[in-house]
């Protein structure tokens, strides 16, 4: 379930950035000055990450690496928001985003641990 939820989210947010960079910036990415090139660059990361997580639903051997990659990404993204919580809509929004990212990182870490345990049990 975690792979589907996070895979769909990453793919969706990537497509949102790719096709609606202005709306993405105004709603979620309002940090500093808008830069469509940077938003597109981030989309090119989120889309493959989403596809990787979704592919891991069927390809069991991909689950641990996909979840490890996603957990590291979310952890670093969380750190970024903790270091710079100054969202254009106010610091409270920035801190709420940081908190949400930390929470979702924990969910991914739990899923990663479970996938590792399952993989060890299979061998």
Q: Cα–Cα distance between 68 and 112 in angstroms, integer?
A: 6
pLDDT of residue 34: 93
pLDDT of residue 99: 96
Low-confidence ranges of the chain (pLDDT < 50): none
Q: Are the C-beta atoms of 66 and 74 separated by less than 8 Å?
A: no
pLDDT of residue 121: 86
pLDDT of residue 104: 97
Total structural domains within the chain: 1
pLDDT of residue 28: 86
Q: Cα–Cα distance between 49 and 121 in angstroms, integer?
A: 26
pLDDT of residue 73: 97
- The residue segments making up the domain with residue 58 are 2-122
pLDDT of residue 15: 98
């Amino acid at each position: 379930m975690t792979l589907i939820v996070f895979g769909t989210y990453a793919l969706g947010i990537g497509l949102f950035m790719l096709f609606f960079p202005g709306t993405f910036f105004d709603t979620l990415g309002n940090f500093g000055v808008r830069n469509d090139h940077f938003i597109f660059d981030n989309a090119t990361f989120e889309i493959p990450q989403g596809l990787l997580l979704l592919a891991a639903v069927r390809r069991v051997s991909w689950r641990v690496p996909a979840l490890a990659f996603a957990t590291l990404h979310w952890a670093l993204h969380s750190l970024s928001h903790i270091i710079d919580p100054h969202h254009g809509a106010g610091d409270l929004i920035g801190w709420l985003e940081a908190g949400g990212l930390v929470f979702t990182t924990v969910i991914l870490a739990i899923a990663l641990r479970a996938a590792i345990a399952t993989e060890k049990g299979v061998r």
